[in-house]
A and B are shown apart, each in its own frame.
Chain A
C-alpha cells in the first residue's frame, strides 16, 4: 500500500558537481577514525586502551548512561591514538588498520524466532544500535523507550546528496533483514518514504508502510516525512534510520559481521570527477578525494551535504553517518557593492535584483561566503515558504533563543531536528545560525525534561 505525499513548500538547491553514478573502489585507508562528535550527547567510556589491538566489530567504548550500548571499531587494527580535548574529553579515536582484516563474528539471532528484547540486546552489543536515532531530541535512540513508529527516508533531495536508489542497489536482502528485526521493536509501523518515480530497493520490501513523496527539498528529509505521515506528539518517540545504515544493520543481523563498508558520493564543484566510491566508515577522505582530483587548493571539505554536513579537512575522516562528501570553494573574499548589484550566479528565495527565479533548474557554483552579515531577525514570512512542517519556524527559533521551555514544547520542538531548519538557515536574510539554535534548544529541553 502506498500513499502519495506532495510537498509544495521548499527550495531545490541545484549545485554543479553532482556525483556520476559509477562506483570506484577507494584506496584502502591506513588509519581509520571515529569522531565522537558524530554521536551527539554520548559520553564514552573506553573498553580498549591506547595501543591495544581490536577486531573489526569489537567494541571500543560504551555509552556511560547505558553500559549495554557498544560502539564498535570499523576495522581491525591497533588503537593508536585517543585524541582528547578540553577537560580530557575524548574527541577522536584513531585505529591503524591491519593489512588483513579480522572480523569479530557475533552469534546471529534467528530473525523469525527472536523477540524484540533479543534483537535489541544483539544490536546494542554488536554496534548496530547507534544507527538508530530518535525524535524528540535527535539523538541516538534510548533503547528503554518503545517507539510509536520507525521512519526511513529512501529519498534524498539535499543538494548533491548520494542517491539512495543507486547506493541501495542489490541490497534488498540486508534491508529486508533489518526491517524484520526493527518491526519487532515497535508495535507501530515502519514508514518508508521513497521518491514518487524512483526505482527504489524498498519497492519489494515486506513489512513496511511505503509512502511516495514528491516536491522540492526538504521532501527528502525524514523530519518532513514524519510531520506529514504521523507527527510526534509530546511524550511520544519515533525512531529514524537512514537507508544505508539499514543495510549495515541488515548485514550485521545476517552474517554477524560489522561490515563498515559504505558507498559514498564525492561531489561538489571543486571535484574534477565527482562520482561514487566504496570505502569504510572512518576512512581517510584523502584516499578517494585525490583519486577524483581537485580543481583548486583552497576549498571547503564537508562530511555530508552542504546544508547539514560537518566541516572537515583533507586529513579528515568519513563520518559515522555520512554517505556524501562535498567540496565547494571557500568564499573568503570581498565583493564590490555585492549588496546592491544584480545577482545572477547565486541562489536566492527573493527577486530583489536576484535572478535565480528565472532559471529554477540552473546549476549554481556556490561558495561558503555568507553573502552578508549577521543581524537580528527582521524579515518575516520568508521561512514559511520553504518550511513544509506544520510549525511556526520563526516563533520556534525565538522560543529557543530565549530558552522558553513551555513555548518550545508547545510550538513543536519535539518534532524537529536541526536539519529541518537547514533550508530556513540557507535563505535567512539575517544570517542567523538556525541549526545551532535548534540544537541548543533540543539539548536544553532534553536536559530539563528528558
Chain B
C-alpha cells in the first residue's frame, strides 16, 4: 500500500489534481519529506496533529450533544423526569437515536461541503489542502440549533469558507473565525431558525401550531423575557438544558479546555482572561441592580440580576471562550495582547447578552468583534517592544568609521 501510494504520488506530481491526491495521501501517511534548509531535524508536531488535538477535545461535547438532543426532545414531550438518573434518562438508545438522526447529518454536511470547497480551492490555486477546516467543520454543528435545515447549513458553510477564509488566502490568513462567520451568517440570514423557544428542541418547529406542539426555551431566553426557568444549577453545569448542540455541557467544555491547555495547543491566557472579563461585566451588572439604580420593571432587570458567575454556565459563553476565542489565527498573536483580547471577549459577551434586544446571546458577536480588533491590540503591544528598543538606541555607542574620519579630515583641510 505504501509503495503503491508512493508510485501514485509520483504519477500525479505536477498535475492539476495533485493537491487533492496529496491531501488523502498525507491523511494516511505523514509524507516522506525531509529537511532541506535550516534545521536538519524537526519536532514531531504539525498542523494536522494540532487540529486533531482540538477535535479530540470537541468529541465529548459532540457525543453529549447527541444524547442531549434526544433528552430535550423526549423531555419536551413527556416532561422532565422526576428523579433524574444519568443512565435511565440520558444515556439511552432512544436519545442517541435522535442524536444520530439530527446531529450526525449536521456534521456530515458541515464536513462534506466545507472540505469540498477546500479541495476545490486547493486544486484551482495549486496549493496543498490545508487543515484549518478540520476544526471548523467540527465546531459548526456544535454551535447551531439541533434542527437547523441542512440546506441552510450548506449555504452558510459555503459563505463562511469562501468569504470568511478563502478570499483572504486560506488557513492562517483569515481575519474572522470561519466557524463564527458561518454562525453569524445563519443568524442574520435566517433569524427565525436561530432563536425563539421552538428551535432548540428536535421537532419543535415542525410541531408548532399543532396539538402536539413542544418547546424548550434556553435559560437566557427565559431570562430575557423576564420569566422563570426550571433548571437547577447542576443541570446548567452538566448541560441538561436546551441550547445549541454542543454548547450546553459546561463540565465537558471545561474538561476539553483543560486538555487543550495541558497539551499546549490553546492559549490559557485567552481562556483565563475571558473568564475574568465575563465575571467583571457580570459583577458590574449585579452591582447596578444591588445599588437599586435599575427599576424592577426594566426589561434588562432579570438578565442583569442574574448572578454574575452563572453567566459562565449558560448559553455559549464557555464554549466560545474555550474553542472559538482561542483560535490562534484570528485571535491576538502576542502573549500580552492575548490578555486584553480575552478580557474584552468575556466582557463584551456578557454585555451584548444583556442588552441585545433580539437575541439573548453575544458570544459569537463579541468574538467576531474582537477578531477585528486583534491586530490593533497586537500593534500596540509590538509598539511597546519597539519603543523599548528606541529608548535603548538613545544610549547607543557608535564609533565613527575610519573612512568617515578621513573624509571629515579632508573637508577640514580643504
Q: A350-B45, A372-B47, A377-B172 are in contact. Are A335 and B389 (CB under 8 A)?
A: no
- The yes or no answer to A118 lying at the interface (CB within 8 A) is no
User: When the two chains form their complex, are residues B333 and A336 in contact, meaning their CB atoms are under 8 A apart?
Assistant: no
State in angstroms the CA–CA spacing of A375 and B26 once bound together. 13
Partner of B173, one of A367, A376, A391: A376
Q: How far is the CA of A234 from the CA of B391 in the complex (A)?
A: 11
**Within the complex, which residue of B31, B45, B386, B393 is in contact with A429, where a contact is CB–CB below 8 Å?**
B45
Given the known interface contacts A410-B386, A422-B38, the answer about A348 and B44 at a Cβ–Cβ threshold of 8 Å is: yes
Whether, in the assembled complex, B29 has its beta carbon less than 8 Å from a beta carbon of chain A, the answer is yes
State the CA gap A427–B39 with chains docked (Å): 10
Interface of A is mostly: loop
What is the interface residue range for chain A against chain B? 35 or more
> Which residues of the partner chain B approach A237 to less than 8 Å between Cβ atoms?
398
Query: A340's contact among B6, B39, B49, by CB below 8 Å, is which?
Result: B49
B331 contacts which chain A residues (CB < 8 A)? 380
Instruction: Tell me if A233 and B385 are in contact (CB < 8 A).
Output: no
A146-B399, A234-B396, A307-B41 are contacts. A378–B32 as well, Cβ < 8 Å? no
A410 to B331, CA, bound (A): 23
Per-residue CB contact flags for chain A residues 373-414 toward chain B (1 = under 8 Å, else 0) read 111111111101000001110110000000000000011100
Within the assembled complex, what's the spacing in Å between the Cα atoms of A392 and B385?
Answer: 8
Q: A309-B40, A373-B26 are in contact. Are A351 and B34 (CB under 8 A)?
A: no
Q: Which residues of B contact A330 (CB under 8 A)?
A: 34
Query: With A395-B382, A411-B386 as given contacts, are A332 and B34 in contact (CB-CB < 8 Å)?
Result: yes
CB distance from B280 to the nearest CB of A (A): 23
CB of B310 to closest CB in A, whole Å? 30
Q: In whole angstroms, how far apart are the Cα atoms of A149 and B262 in the complex? A: 43
Instruction: Pick the contact of A351: B131, B263, B389 (CB < 8 A).
Output: B263
Contacts of B390 in A (CB 8 A): 410
Query: Number of B residues whose C-beta is below 8 Å from A?
Result: 71
B29 A352 Cβ-Cβ under 8 A: no
Q: Tell me the complex Cα distance, A427–B264, Å.
A: 13
A343 within 8 A of B: yes
Check if A331 sits within 8 Å of B34, measured CB to CB: yes
A340-B52, A376-B130 known; A148-B399 Cβ under 8 A: yes
Residues in A with CB closer than 8 Å to B338 are 381
Chain A residues, Cβ within 8 Å of B40: 300, 302, 306-307, 309, 311, 326, 328, 368
In the bound complex, do residue A332 and residue B39 qualify as a contact, i.e. CB atoms below 8 Å apart? no
Of the listed residues B333, B397, B398, the one surrounded by the most CB atoms of chain A closer than 10 A to its CB is B397
Name the A residues within 8 Å of B44 (CB-CB).
343, 346-348, 354, 356, 371
- What residues of chain A lie closer than 8 Å to B333, measured between beta carbons? 380-381, 394-395
Which residues, 30 to 84 on B, are CB-close (under 8 Å) to A?
30-50, 52-53
Check: B104 CB closer than 8 A to any chain A CB: no
- Who on chain A is nearest to B53 by CB? A352
Partner of B41, one of A233, A333, A367, A374: A367
Q: Are B52 and A412 in contact (CB under 8 A)?
A: no
B31: which of A147, A235, A337, A373 is its contact (CB, 8 Å)?
A373
Closest to A159 in B: B41
When the two chains form their complex, are residues A332 and B396 in contact, meaning their CB atoms are under 8 A apart? Answer: no
Nearest B residue to A311 via CB reads B40
Say yes or no for A173: interface residue by CB 8 A criterion: no
In the complex, the answer to whether A378 meets B396 with C-beta atoms within 8 Å is: no
Binds B, one of A38-46, A78-86, A102-110, A430-438: A430-438
B32: contacting residue among A333, A347, A366, CB under 8 A: A333
CA of A233 to CA of B41, assembled, Å: 32
A144 and B44 CA atoms in complex are apart in Å by: 46
Residue of B nearest to A367 (CB): B41
In chain B, residues 358-414, which have Cβ atoms closer than 8 Å to a Cβ of chain A? 378, 382, 385-386, 388-390, 392-393, 395-403
Asked if residues A13 and B396 are in contact (CB atoms below 8 Å), the reply is: no
**Is B37's CB under 8 angstroms from A335's CB?**
no
B265 within 8 A of A: yes
Q: Are A436 and B6 in contact (CB under 8 A)?
A: no
| Interface status of A349 (Cβ within 8 A of chain B) | yes
Contact A431 B335 (CB under 8 A): no
Residues from chain A with Cβ under 8 Å of B399 in the complex: 145-148, 187
Q: Contacts A306-B39, A381-B267 given: A390-B385 contact, CB under 8 Å?
A: yes
Chain A residue with minimal CB distance to B30?
Answer: A338
For B169, the closest partner residue in chain A by CB is A376
| Contact pick for A231, options B34, B132, B385, B392, CB 8 Å | B392
Asked if A308 contacts B30 (CB within 8 A), the reply is: no
Report the Cα distance A370→B396, complex, angstroms: 41
Q: Which residues of B contact A434 (CB under 8 A)?
A: 38
Q: Is the CB of B401 within 8 A of A352?
A: no
Chain A residues with CB under 8 Å of B47's CB are: 372-373, 375, 378-379, 429-430
Q: Nearest chain B CB to A269's CB is how many angstroms away?
A: 11
Shortest distance from the beta carbon of B324 to any chain A beta carbon, whole Å:
15
Cβ of B170 under 8 Å from chain A: yes
Give residues in B with beta carbon < 8 Å to A.
Answer: 2, 5-6, 26-50, 52-53, 128, 130-132, 169-173, 262-265, 267, 269, 328-329, 331-335, 338, 378, 382, 385-386, 388-390, 392-393, 395-403
List 28 A–B pairs whose Cβ atoms lie within 8 Å, in order of A's numbering.
A144-B401, A145-B399, A146-B401, A233-B393, A233-B395, A236-B396, A335-B29, A336-B28, A336-B29, A340-B52, A351-B264, A366-B41, A368-B35, A368-B40, A371-B45, A371-B46, A372-B30, A375-B130, A375-B172, A376-B169, A376-B172, A381-B333, A391-B385, A411-B382, A427-B43, A428-B42, A430-B47, A434-B38
What are the nearest 6 A-B pairs in CB distance? A372-B46, A338-B30, A376-B172, A146-B399, A339-B48, A346-B44
Chain A interfacial positions (CB closer than 8 Å to B): 13, 15, 144-148, 159, 187-188, 231, 233-237, 300, 302, 306-309, 311, 326, 328, 330-340, 343, 346-354, 356, 366-382, 384, 390-392, 394-395, 410-412, 418, 422, 425-431, 433-436
